[in-house]
Amino acid sequence: MTSLGQEATDRLDGDPHQPARRARSLWVAAFGGGLGLLGAGPGALALAAGTASTTTGLVLLIGVGLGATAGVAFGRAAWARRTWSLGSTALELRRGVLVHRASSIPYYRIQQIDLERGPIERLIGLSQLVVRTAAATSDGTLYGLEPDDATRLRHRLLELAGVDDAV
């Protein structure tokens, strides 16, 4: 995998690119925390039902640990499986941990490319590109990009698509 840079957007190298490492940290924290909380469910139910015993704390601890571990593994796998590349005729996207998906968006079908940054993305310095085509089912999103790289890639994709950047 290569990191995105000026040379990668200047030529159609076909090399797969991954999201920034900060995106991996975000996904690991989100999945690890979410599944950790979900793993606390059995112990929390026992506490809420008033049937808590000495084993409830152990069940709670094991559930949180297993859930968090599974979430961290899933977040790392999601980051590793999400790639994109600039092909000779299309933008190639790959993603999916359990179900692997590959899609190809021909440059001539691209109509619009939006640069988006939500509050958490702004906080940790990430952006995403949303590539839109005439058919909503063939849209694609590139997550976890450095803001400068996202802007550079957006302009390169607009150039390849032959779309005027009216911004």
- What amino acid is encoded at 128 in this protein? Q
Q: Report the candidate in 156, 36, 70 with the shortest Cα–Cα distance to residue 142.
A: 156
pLDDT for 4 beyond 80: no
Measured between its terminal Cα atoms, the distance across the chain in Å is: 31
CA 89 to chain centre: 24
- Distance from C-alpha of 62 to C-alpha of 43, rounded to nearest angstrom: 9
Check: CB of residue 115 under 8 Å from CB of residue 64.
no
Q: How far apart are CA 83 and CA 41, in angstroms?
A: 34
Burial of 102 (0-12, 13-18, 19+ CB in 10 A): exposed
Per the CB < 8 A criterion, the answer to whether 40 and 63 are in contact is yes
For the chain, percent of residues with pLDDT exceeding 70: 82
pTM: 0.76
Q: How many residues does the chain have?
A: 167
Biggest alpha carbon–alpha carbon distance for the chain: 67
Under 8 Å between Cβ of 23 and 79: yes
Q: How confident is the model at residue 2 (pLDDT cuts 50, 70, 90)?
A: very low
DSSP state of 118: -
Q: Average model confidence (pLDDT) for the chain?
A: 84
Place of tokens 């490492």: 21
pLDDT, residue 104, reads 93
Residue 43 neighbours by CB distance under 10 Å: 20
96 conformational bin, left if phi > 0, alpha if psi -120 to 50, beta if neither: left
Residue-wise pLDDT tens digits, 44-99: 776 677 666 667 777 777 888 888 898 899 999 999 999 999 998 999 999 999 99
Q: Across the beta sheet with 127-133, what order do the strands follow?
A: 110-116, 127-133, 140-145
